[in-house]
Structure 1
Amino acid sequence: MSTHSTAGRKPAASSDNAGTEAAARVADVLLLFTGGPRYLGVSAISRELGLAKAVVHRILQSLVSREMLATDPGVAGYRLGPAAVALGASALRRFDARTVATPVLRRLRDETSETTTLSGLVGDERVYLDQFESPREIKMTVDIGRRFPLHAGSSGKVILAFLPEERQAAVLGRELPALTEKTITAADDLRTVLAETAREGVAVSLGERQPGAGSVAAPLFGPDGEIHGSISVCGPEYRFTPEVVGRYRVLVRDAAEEIRHSWAWLRDSGDSAGR
């Protein structure tokens, strides 16, 4: 029987915990770049995450070496690099809902002459995954890949309205920051709006997330019956009159249902092909 000295070694559990914590820090740093300014510096990241500047600097250098982040001459700070862009593009290609939503959203754009969007649920936030821009000279466009809170805007509210009760309560239990003067920040008021949204299957926003912007959104359910995201029609608020909003409610709701059926069919066809 052989013996091995354990002197100087950390318990396996401690080593695993340290590795998990390090990985979480790297992920947190990367995630900051999806919802904030294009360029971020060591000091800003350190303040946001509560990490020492030396730790942040090491993480950034590691990410730069793997092309997940990059720097530009004459510009202070770091930005997402080509490897991160490639990773995001790969994820988008594999998002089935985006595939089946494309023709529906393009047709909805043509029917309304307004920009149409697809949002996905990511944690307790949402991210714009795709858009089809309005042909009009004055129009609204969105930032693909940028994260937004669920309580502000129609695309977020309609997702929040259909989240499981525990997850919805967790979101409403946190601070609800005002993105504009019209953002609903009182949890009780928002609960009332969400209950109405759940009954009607559609949400409306007039300047709640972005000043001067109007939107109508419907929930996007996956083949598993769970809420996965939302679709919307959006444009300048002055064009979203009560009559127009009433028309868009029907169009967006029908479009979301069409995407859901197509998504389910695509999944079922894929499962059958693999059997």
Structure 2
Amino acid sequence: MAESSGGTGATERVADVLLLFTDGPPTLGVSQVARELDLSKAVVHRILQSLTSRNLIAYDPETREYRLGPAAAALGSRALRDSDLRAAALPFLAELRDKLHETVTISAKVHGGRVYLDQVVGTHEITMSVELGKRFPLHAGSSGKCVLAHCDPDEIDRLLSGDLLALTPNTPTDPDELRAELARIRERGYAASAGERQGDAGSVAVAVFGPVGVVGAVSVCGPRFRVTEEFVAATAPQLIETADRITARLGGTAPARAATTGRTT
């Protein structure tokens, strides 16, 4: 990444190094980081040393690897606590969980994907839970797809022209098929998935909007054997109502939608 005026290039490299720890394994070495980000080892080492001195990254001298440090945890906790999207959604998540008995989540759109901000775990003996704070791609799973469906056309083009990683055998990776599905999601107002991000999970999700566009998604997820087409059909209208209430709290406007009919994809 070329250095640009005002130190923007250097700042982006530091941010990319930090974000790499949210996506990959919990510990990384200099060589791994350099290879993933196509940077020299010398540059990566300097960045990691700087982050370590501020406790954003911690170094293990035995393994010679790095992991996120306590200052990063403090930043993440503060971000979750102060998130307007999380605060607006949380009461509605609990209400919907009590109706459906499945796990209900709220995700936020972030650079390069989305992250789960919070969840209210279902009441069944066998239920689903999600990993908060980890970045997931937008092309896999219902939450990501309904966010992607409402992104700017240029952003959709950039994502679909890139590497669409298959997280499971069911992850959609064909750009043309994804474009067609995104159009269906915009029309009906929700997305559904079966084993796309996690092989044994199913989900249905609806986008949430702020004053300037899509900001995240609310979803209901559970074991794949319970998230049937009938479940999706019954759940989608309730989920749309919940998403619209969150959107209203954020001062956003939900788009017009066609009548909902459930079908897992």
Say whether residues 1:35 and 2:23 are aligned partners.
Answer: yes
**Cα deviation 1:209-265 (Å, max 9, x = unaligned):** 11011000000011x151011010011000012211111111211110111112229
Q: Which of 169, 175, 191 pairs up with 1:187?
A: 175
Q: Which amino acid aligns with 1:249?
A: A
Higher helix share: 1
Contact residue 3 and residue 9 of structure 2 kept, 8 A: no
**How far did 1:75 drift?**
4.8
Say whether residues 1:151 and 2:139 are aligned partners.
Answer: yes
How far apart are the structure 2 equivalents of 1:136 and 1:246?
20
Q: Which of 66, 71, 83 pairs up with 1:95?
A: 83
Instruction: Give the SS at the match of 1:138.
Output: coil
Q: Which of 18, 35, 40 pairs up with 1:52?
A: 40
**How far did 1:76 drift?**
4.6
| 1:250 match | 237
Instruction: Give the SS at the match of 2:196.
Output: coil
How far apart are the structure 1 equivalents of 2:229 and 2:4?
57
Q: Which of 211, 227, 230 pairs up with 1:240?
A: 227
Instruction: Give the SS at the match of 2:131.
Output: coil
Please identify, of 96-105 and 55-64, the stretch whose mean Cα deviation from structure 2 is larger: 55-64
How far apart are the structure 2 equivalents of 1:262 and 1:62?
40
Q: Which amino acid aligns with 1:20?
A: T
Query: How many residues end up aligned between the 2 structures?
Result: 251
Q: Which runs of 5+ in 1 are unaligned?
A: 1-13, 266-275
Q: Which runs of 5+ in 2 are unaligned?
A: 253-265
How far apart are the structure 1 equivalents of 2:32 and 2:139?
25
Bigger radius of gyration among the two: 1
How far apart are the structure 1 equivalents of 2:74 and 2:117?
15
Contact residue 39 and residue 76 of structure 1 kept, 8 A: no
Please identify, of 103-112 and 210-219, the stretch whose mean Cα deviation from structure 2 is larger: 103-112
Q: Which of 199, 212, 229 pairs up with 2:216?
A: 229
Percent identical across equivalent pairs? 51
How far apart are the structure 2 equivalents of 1:170 and 1:15?
22
Q: CA RMSD in A?
A: 1.9
Contact residue 105 and residue 132 of structure 1 kept, 8 A: yes
What's the TM-score once normalised by structure 2's chain length? 0.89
Instruction: Give the SS at the match of 1:239.
Output: coil
What's the TM-score once normalised by structure 1's chain length? 0.86
Change (3 A) 1:81 1:242: same
| 1:9 match | none
